[in-house]
Amino acid sequence: MNKILVIEDEFLIRENLLERLGAEGFDTVGAENGLDGVKLALTDRPDLIICDVMMPQLDGYEVLKTLRQNPITAAIPFIFLTAKAEKSSLRHGMELGADDYLTKPFTKTELLGAIATRLEKQAVVAQHFEEELVSYVQSITDALPEELLNPIYRIFSLTQKLVDENETISPHEILATAENINGSTMYLHRLMENFIIYSKLKALNLNSQEVQVLSSCRTSSPNTIIVEVATQKATQYGREADLILNIARAGVKIAEQDLRKIAEEIIDNAFKFSEIGTPVEIKATIDNDIFQITIASTGCAMTLEQIASIGACRQFEREFYEQQGLGLGLVIAKKLTELHDGQLIIKSAKTEPTTTVCVELKCV
C-alpha cells in the first residue's frame, strides 16, 4: 500500500483529499502547514507528496527545496497543488524539482491520473536501480576476493621468507623483500581506497547537499597538482625520461582532492599500460574557458565498444595485460569529472596502439 502525504493549510481541502485517497486504498497522512509537512516527510517517508503552493510560514516552494536537499526525501515524487497556473510559477516549481502540477479545482480523474503516473515512474526507476545494484554487488563479489587475496598472499610469502631465512638472508635481500612488501601493501591500500570511493559515488544522490557543496569547489593551481602527480608516477615506474609535460595555468571548478584523484588514476594507467622508452605526454590547455587535460601514451589500445562500455570491475584484454586491479580507477575518474560538470573523453584505436584521455573542466 502506497503512503501519500498531503500538505495543505486549508482544512476542508486537506480532509477531502485524505478521504478521496483513503477510499482508493492509499495509506494517507496530512499536514496543515509546510513545517509539519517537512517533519512528517522525514519521519514517515511517504511514497508521494501532494503539497499546496501558497501556505503561511513555509510555502510549497520552500518545502520542496528543503526536501530535495535531504538524501532521505530527495527522490520522493512531488506534486504541487495551486490555484495559479502562470507559466513563471510552473517553471519555478519545475526548476526546484517538482514532478507535476494540479491546478485547483481538479477532478478525481486528474488527481488519480497524476498520482498513478508518478508512482509508476518511480517504480521503474527503483527497478532499474535495484538491477544495477545487484549487478554491481555481483561484480564486486566475483572480483574482490581474488584481488584482495593476491597481495595478501604475496605479503604473507615475503614475510615468511624473512622468518625462515632470518639467519642467512643478506642485508641486500632484506631491503629487496621489504620493498616488495611495501609495494604489495600500497597496492592493497589503493585497491580498498578505490573500492570505498566508488561505493560512495554509486550511493551519492545528485540532488544532495553534498553535491551542492562540491559544485562550489575551486582549485586555483591545477598545474601544480598535475605536475606533482605526473612526476611521482614517472618516478614510481622508473620512467622519468619518458615524461613530457606542457601545463597551462588557470583556476578550475573542481575540488583539489578530486582533481588529484583523477590525475593519479589516468596518469598511473598511462605508465602502467605503456612500454618503457615510449613517451607519456601530458598537456593542459585553455580553450573557451575550458581547461583541457590530455594524457597520451602508446600501449594498450581500446576499441570503440570497450570505451562505450566502461564499467567497474571490468579489465579489458587482461589475458594480454596481467596488471592487477578491479578496473575502478578509470570509472572513478570519469564519475568525479562528471560530478564537477566536466567530461572525460577517451580516444584509442587498435590500428595504432595509442590511447589519449582528455579531461575537460570549467575554468573559474
pLDDT tens-digit map of 127-152: 776 776 666 566 656 656 666 778 88
d(CA 78, CA 51): 7
* 203 & 214 share domain: no
In a domain, 9, yes or no: yes
* 216 & 351 share domain: yes
The burial class, CB within 10 Å (0-12 / 13-18 / 19+), for 6 is buried
The answer to whether 331 touches 201, Cβ cutoff 8 Å, is: no
The burial class, CB within 10 Å (0-12 / 13-18 / 19+), for 55 is buried
C-alpha cell at 109: 480523474
Q: In b/e form, how buried is each residue of 291-330, taking b as 16+ CB within 10 angstroms? A: bbbbbbbbbbbbeeeebeebebbbebeeeeeeeebbbbbb
- pLDDT surpasses 90 at 210: no
In a domain, 190, yes or no: yes
In a domain, 126, yes or no: no
* 319 & 230 share domain: yes
- pLDDT surpasses 80 at 36: yes
The residue out of 106, 125, 150 marking a domain boundary is 106
Strand arrangement of the beta sheet that strand 27-31 belongs to: 27-31, 3-7, 48-52, 78-82, 100-103
* 153 & 96 share domain: no
Q: Supply the pLDDT for residue 280.
A: 94
Number of domains observed in the structure of the chain: 3
Query: What CATH number corresponds to the domain at position 14?
Result: 3.40.50.2300
pLDDT bracket for residue 326 (50, 70, 90):
very low
* 152 & 89 share domain: no
In a domain, 113, yes or no: no
* 196 & 216 share domain: no
* 203 & 215 share domain: no
pLDDT bracket for residue 320 (50, 70, 90):
very low
- pLDDT surpasses 50 at 317: no
44 is in which domain, residue-wise? 3-106
pLDDT bracket for residue 5 (50, 70, 90):
very high
Q: Supply the pLDDT for residue 89.
A: 65
C-alpha cell at 305: 565498444
* 79 & 147 share domain: no
Query: What CATH number corresponds to the domain at position 275?
Result: 3.30.565.10
Q: Which of 93, 360, 65, 69 is nearest to 211 (CA)?
A: 69
* 170 & 225 share domain: no
* 215 & 350 share domain: yes
- pLDDT surpasses 90 at 254: yes
Instruction: Indicate the pTM of the whole model.
Output: 0.56
In a domain, 121, yes or no: no
In a domain, 100, yes or no: yes
The residue out of 65, 88, 106 marking a domain boundary is 106
* 246 & 302 share domain: yes
The residue out of 190, 207, 224 marking a domain boundary is 207
* 176 & 309 share domain: no
